Structure 1
């Protein structure tokens, strides 16, 4: 480092390692013999280690108390009726929910409507729904960081293959199979086609049933 004498303006060169970091030492100026203070460089703070990405449980602050509040007699935490089919609707727009409801009733689904992602994830911890209708912007500003989609992507395959996930969107065309594959969902439904939800949903689920028919038959053997 270079130090300037305050008295005669003489310049001194001192090796950085001669003065401890964060400390002050005093030397004599070789020209005027004045006392010159020299401060050691303060080391840059070490970057804090990055925290591991939060799990979905951490993100939504699930606790054991949530589990203790579970009542098996309460629908729709689980639907105990034999052969009962369950559907969860993750859609904030009440008008769209009203258009979905008649079709789900016709297909004899017991319907669960959730207000936010936290409630949806809480319910999915205790029940595997047969059908999930999810708006990609549900409870998020970033459709590519939808917490429910992330949760479903992390499910074991033996669980995930029993859930038919329909992504409600305005960005992609209905029945876009490539996008459905990229989003890890079973079907894409553009909201402009919401009035034809009954035909589209039944067709998609029929194709899904045929796709897994041979697999499920072989598993049952």
Structure 2
């Protein structure tokens, strides 16, 4: 599926009209579930094999959806470098990205935890079999929440 290679990154084929998504999870069985779900939700799926690759990807691409396991890159869930990057990103850039955080200690769809972690949705790892329903609901709610705001920004020419 790769078309060319630049700095060790393969550029996948993208389908126009689909959301662009980045998946960051070290577990192969999780990757399969997440990737298939995102494809079902009409997303172009890019899987990042490691933290360095993920940082290169976000440096050169604007992703609509990011699915991140809290332990991606072998780090401490409380000190995930990629999550910290998104938590400190300027808000005008951050709100364009739907960020789903997967972990073992979350209650799926817990809005308070999502708010504390500065993500759009938290998902317990045990709920991955229901990922399509969870992401459909969460992305829809996010789109609805920001619809008016994004419309005003578009009218003002600030998008």
- Which TM-score tier does this pair reach, normalised by the shorter chain? 0.7 to 0.9
Equivalent residue for 2:124, pick from 190, 210, 218:
190
d(CA) in 1 for partners of 2:41, 2:135 = 10
Shift of 1:70: 5.6
Equivalent residue for 2:45, pick from 91, 111, 128:
111
Moved over 2 A (4+): 81-84
1:8 corresponds to which residue? none
Shift of 1:140: 2.9
Determine which structure has the larger helix proportion and give its number: 2
In the alignment, structure 2 segments of 5+ residues that lack a partner are 1-5
Corresponding position: 1:201 with 2:135: yes
> Radius of gyration: which is bigger?
1
Corresponding position: 1:87 with 2:21: yes
Contact 2:21 2:43 in 1 (8 A): yes
2:3 corresponds to which residue? none
Corresponding position: 1:75 with 2:3: no
What does the per-residue CA deviation read over 1:168-219, in whole Å, with 9 as the maximum and x for residues that have no partner?
0111100011111111111001011111100000000011011101101111
CA RMSD of aligned residues (A): 1.9
1:180 corresponds to which residue? 114
What does the per-residue CA deviation read over 1:80-126, in whole Å, with 9 as the maximum and x for residues that have no partner?
x5433211110111111111122111111111111111110111001
Corresponding position: 1:145 with 2:79: yes
Q: Kindly report which structure 2 residues correspond to 1:126-137, keeping only aligned pairs within 5 A, or say none.
A: 126-137=60-71
SS at match of 2:71: coil
Count matched residues: 150
Corresponding position: 1:211 with 2:149: no
d(CA) in 1 for partners of 2:48, 2:36 = 17
RCO higher in structure (CA 8 A, sep ≥6) = 2
TM-score under structure 2 length normalisation: 0.87
